């Protein structure tokens, strides 16, 4: 479902626009344009048929001025260095928007996880971890799940790291199952944070949640949880899709039954209680809220003028290109940009990291109430900047984030 526009070009373009807007110090601007560190590793593993294949893995630290590097690991055929640098940069801004003490990182392995067995994925994960064993660490770099990675893969990373250092270290990675030091509420956190941000926006616009119709592109952990939570809050989820296609029912879909169908069949496509439709058709549906929660570059200048949703909440990273952004703005659409709309995941990862360091764990209600407080405050801060400076929500997010990271860099100074 990925698009062709280079995510790094988009990330740099967004940075350049905000630098101009806030008259950012050129030296700071130049440092933001380049990541602190990039690691490229070779990952040879023995496949189940006995042959050996060599995969390429990446890990990028964009900026660690505000704390350890934090960011997900994705397994996808299209993973490349430019994409990982862009995603790491977005993580820097995302952590700063919600004001948690991390810098931005991202990682990935260029592979097709859908064509690999569990045993092959385990060997791949453990070798990738061992190649970066001196990079990862609870005070240096804390990975998390991303596209096509999950709590099991995070458990393998934690185990590989722990065996290497000689003791159990749960805080080296987040997004783990609770049985090995994960936090309650982490699986739903990104979708839940997105819905918290939507509630805040709807309140500002004077709209009720139970009058909204919702379409969700991408029915993975983010899309499913966002859909399920917003449906429970009173909205009508009328369409969802995954990489194989989508399903539409104007009277509403039962998200839990749909998830069960996908678990059994491998896709929402073909769900009996709705009509099949393509990912492209879903984006252009008549609905009030669109949640793109799949991959980058889904809303482009080619389809932005056909988006009918009044509100777009970016569950995915970088689903809207800058050209599409401009078109949507001209058409009066309301955008909840990714660096706030999907920041619930990294915020709850922060909670997991803290709990792991202290070996003291919280109830799910505590996790969710702390998440709501942080998301609500971040939204208010962004809304205030957007209103004061008469800029878009995306620009307001960047103004807030870039100023926070810039301040940290200036206070720390240049070494040596």
CA-to-CA separations, 364 to 182, 289, 348, 414, in angstroms, rounded? 12, 27, 11, 41
Q: Judging by DSSP bridges, how do beta strands 289-292 and 311-313 pair with one another?
A: parallel
Alpha-carbon span 282 to 156, nearest angstrom: 36
Alpha-carbon span 334 to 329, nearest angstrom: 7
| 37: annotated active-site residue | no
| Active-site residue, selected from the candidate residues 70, 106, 176, 262 | 106
CA-to-CA separations, 214 to 4, 243, 248, 265, in angstroms, rounded? 26, 18, 11, 23
Q: How many residues does the chain have?
A: 416
Q: Are 299 and 291 in contact (CB under 8 A)?
A: no
Token digits of residue 371: 């998440």
Cα angle vertex 6, ends 144, 133, to 5°? 30
Alpha helices in 7-150 (DSSP H): 7-22, 26-33, 81-97, 118-131
Closest CA to 193 of 346, 66, 87, 80: 346
Task: Report, as residue numbers or ranges, the catalytic residues.
Answer: 106
């Amino acid at each position: 479902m990925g698009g062709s526009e280079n995510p790094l070009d988009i990330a740099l373009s967004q940075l350049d626009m905000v630098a101009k807007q806030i008259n950012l110090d050129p030296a700071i601007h130049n440092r933001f344009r380049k990541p602190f560190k990039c690691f490229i590793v070779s990952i040879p593993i023995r496949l189940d048929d006995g042959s050996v294949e060599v995969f390429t893995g990446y890990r990028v630290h964009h900026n660690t001025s505000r704390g350890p590097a934090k960011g997900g690991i994705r397994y996808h055929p299209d993973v490349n260095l430019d994409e990982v640098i862009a995603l790491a940069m977005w993580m820097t801004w995302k952590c700063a928007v919600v004001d948690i003490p991390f810098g931005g990182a991202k990682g990935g392995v260029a592979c097709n996880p859908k064509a690999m067995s569990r045993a092959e994925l385990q060997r791949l994960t453990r070798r990738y971890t061992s190649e970066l064993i001196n990079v990862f660490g609870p005070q240096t770099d804390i990975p998390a799940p991303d596209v096509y990675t999950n709590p099991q893969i995070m458990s393998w990373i934690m185990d590989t790291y722990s065996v290497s250092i000689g003791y159990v270290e749960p805080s080296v990675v987040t997004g783990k199952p609770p049985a090995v030091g994960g936090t309650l509420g982490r699986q739903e956190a990104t979708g839940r944070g997105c819905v918290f941000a939507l509630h805040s926006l709807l309140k500002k616009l004077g709209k009720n949640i139970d009058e909204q119709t919702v379409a969700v592109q991408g029915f993975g952990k983010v899309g499913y949880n966002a859909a399920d939570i917003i449906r429970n809050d009173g909205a009508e989820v009328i369409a969802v899709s995954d990489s194989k296609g989508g399903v539409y029912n104007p009277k509403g879909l039962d998200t839990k039954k749909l998830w069960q169908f996908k678990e059994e069949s491998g896709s929402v496509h073909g769900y009996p209680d709705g009509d099949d439709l393509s990912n492209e058709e879903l984006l252009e549906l008549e609905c009030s809220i669109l949640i793109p929660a799949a991959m980058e570059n889904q809303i482009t200048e080619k389809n932005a003028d056909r988006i009918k949703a009044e509100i777009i909440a970016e569950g995915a990273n970088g689903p809207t290109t800058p050209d599409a952004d401009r078109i949507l703005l001209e058409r009066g659409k309301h955008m909840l940009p990714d660096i706030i709309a999907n920041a619930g995941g990294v915020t709850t990862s922060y909670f997991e990291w803290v709990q792991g360091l202290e070996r003291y764990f919280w109830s799910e209600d505590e996790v969710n109430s702390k998440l709501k407080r942080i998301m609500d405050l971040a939204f208010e801060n962004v809304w205030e900047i957007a209103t004061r400076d008469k800029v878009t929500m995306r620009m307001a997010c960047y103004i807030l984030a870039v100023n926070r990271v810039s301040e940290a860099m200036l206070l720390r100074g240049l070494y040596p």
